[in-house]
Amino acid sequence: MQPTPKQRLWMYEMMVKNRYNEARLSATYMEGKSPLFNMANGPLPGEMHLSDGQEPCAVGLGAHLTKDDYFACHHRSHAQALAKGVDLKRMTAEILGRKAGLSEGRAGHIHIFDYEVLFWSSGIIGQNMGPAVGAALARKMRGEAGIAIACIGEGGANQGGFHEAMNLAAVWKLPFICVIEDNQWAVSVPKSKSTAIASNADRAAAYGMPGERVISNDPDDIFAAVGRAVARARAGEGPSLLELQTVRLQGHFMGDPEVYRPKAEIAAKPEMDPIPRYRRKLIAAGVMTEIEADAIVARAHAEVDEAFAFARAAAEPAPEDAFDKVFV
C-alpha cells in the first residue's frame, strides 16, 4: 500500500508543522529560565518532551485514521496529536496553561486530551495499553466503525501491562493496534540494555498476532505497514503489533544534558533527521517542487504562529477553577 501524492504532501506538511511547533515550544519554554535553568519558571513551566525526529511515525499513522479511531498516546505526543487532528490552538493554549486550553489548564503538555478526535496522551509508561484495548472492545460490542491504537515507546514494551493488554486484545480479537515508536532510548537506557530481543515485533508471536518492524523512519514505509494493520483491524480480523524504528533528536526532556548518549550519535543527528530526507525524496519523485515545498513550509509555520498568538493572548484560569471537573 503506497500513499497517494496528496497523502505524501499531507505527511510532509504535518511533519514540518510539528517540527516548527516544537521549535516554538522550545523557545517559549526557555523564556524565564536563564541564566538559572529552573523547570518551574517562565510562561511554560513543568516538564517538556519534544518529538523532533519521530514525525514519520505520527504521519504514517495519522494518514490512516479518522476521528472515530481512539488513540491513546505516550508522553512525547505532540507530533501524534497534530497528525490525529487535535485542535492546535487549544493544544498550544493547554501547554501554556490557559483557560482556553483543551483541559482548561488542568493537564499540561503531558496530558493532551481532545475528545473531538478521540486523542489523549499520558506520562505513565504503558498506561495507555489497557484503555485502548477497552475502546476497541466498545467499538466491537456496539458494532461501530472505529478502531483503537495505543502508541508506546520501546521502553513501554517492557511494562507488565503491555503483556496483559496484548493478550486481552488477542483473546477477544479486537480492532486494536499497538504501535511501538522505537527511538532506541528509554530516557537514558539504550534498548540493547533493556530489551532481550532486537525486534519487539517478534513478541507478536506470543499473542498469535502479526508483528512487523519498519527500520527506515520513512513516512512512506510506515504508511504502508500501518495500512496493513489498519485494514486488518477494520475488517474485524484482530489486533496487530508494529514497531517503528525512529530517532529522538532531542534529549528525553528539555534540560537533559544527554551525557549518556555517544558523542558520535549526537554528531550524526542532522543526517538522521527524516524531514530534509523526505523533502528531497518528494522533490526527486516529482511530487512537489522546491517552490511548492517552501509554500508548504510557510503555510505550516503560519498556522503554528497563529496558534501561539491565540494561546499567548488567552487568559489564565482562575485559581478556584481548580475545584471543577473532579467529577462530571
Partner 1 sequence: MSVVEATAVKPAQKNRNERKLTIAKALNEAIAQEMRRDKNVFLMGEDIGILGAVWGYTGGLLAEFGEERVRDTPISETAFIGAAVGAANLGMRPIVELMFVDFYGVCMDAIYNLAAKSSYHSAGTFKAPMVLTTAVGGGYCDSTQHSQCLYATFAHLPGMKVVMPSNAYDAKGMMTSAIRDDNPVVFMMHKNLQGMGFLGTIQGAIVDVPEDSYTVPLGKANVVRDGTDVTIVGLGMTVHQGLEAAKTLEKEGVSAEVVDLRSLAPLDRDTVCRSVQKTGRLIVVDDDYLSYGVTAEIIATVTERDIKSLKCPPKRIAFPDIPIPFARPMEQHCLPNVRKIVAAARAMM
Contact residues toward partner 1 (CB under 8 A) are 70, 72, 102-104, 106-107, 111, 113, 115, 118, 120, 122, 124, 127, 129-139, 141-142, 148, 160-161, 164-165, 167-168, 171-172, 325-328
Asked whether the beta carbons of 91 and 121 are under 8 A apart, the reply is no
Q: Which residue, 266 or 322, is less far from partner 1 as judged by CB?
A: 322
Q: Which residue, 85 or 251, is less far from partner 1 as judged by CB?
A: 85
Q: Which residue, 143 or 257, is less far from partner 1 as judged by CB?
A: 143
> Which residues touch 201 (CB under 8 Å, ≥6 apart)?
211, 212, 213, 241, 242, 243
**CB 161 → partner 1: shortest distance, Å?**
4
**CB 169 → partner 1: shortest distance, Å?**
8
Q: Which residue, 123 or 255, is less far from partner 1 as judged by CB?
A: 123
- The alpha-helical segments, DSSP class H, found in the chain are 5-30, 55-62, 78-84, 88-95, 129-142, 160-171, 191-194, 219-234, 263-267, 269-272, 274-284, 290-313
Q: Which residue, 164 or 218, is less far from partner 1 as judged by CB?
A: 164
**CB 177 → partner 1: shortest distance, Å?**
14
**CB 204 → partner 1: shortest distance, Å?**
17
**CB 322 → partner 1: shortest distance, Å?**
10
**CB 192 → partner 1: shortest distance, Å?**
27
Phi and psi torsions of 171, nearest 5° = -70, -30
N- to C-terminal Cα separation, the chain: 43
**CB 163 → partner 1: shortest distance, Å?**
8
CA distances from 93 to 78, 129, 310, 315, 326 (A): 13, 27, 7, 9, 21
Q: Which residue, 130 or 255, is less far from partner 1 as judged by CB?
A: 130
Q: Which residue, 60 or 105, is less far from partner 1 as judged by CB?
A: 105
User: With b meaning 16 or more CB within 10 Å and e meaning fewer, what string describes 134-156?
Assistant: bbbbebbeeeeebbbbbbbbbbb
**CB 294 → partner 1: shortest distance, Å?**
38
State the amino acid at position 10 in one-letter form. Answer: W
DSSP state of 196: S
Q: Which residue, 180 or 247, is less far from partner 1 as judged by CB?
A: 180
Task: Please list the residues that pair with 185 across neighbouring strands.
Answer: 190
Asked whether the beta carbons of 129 and 150 are under 8 A apart, the reply is yes
Task: Please list the residues that pair with 71 across neighbouring strands.
Answer: 119, 149
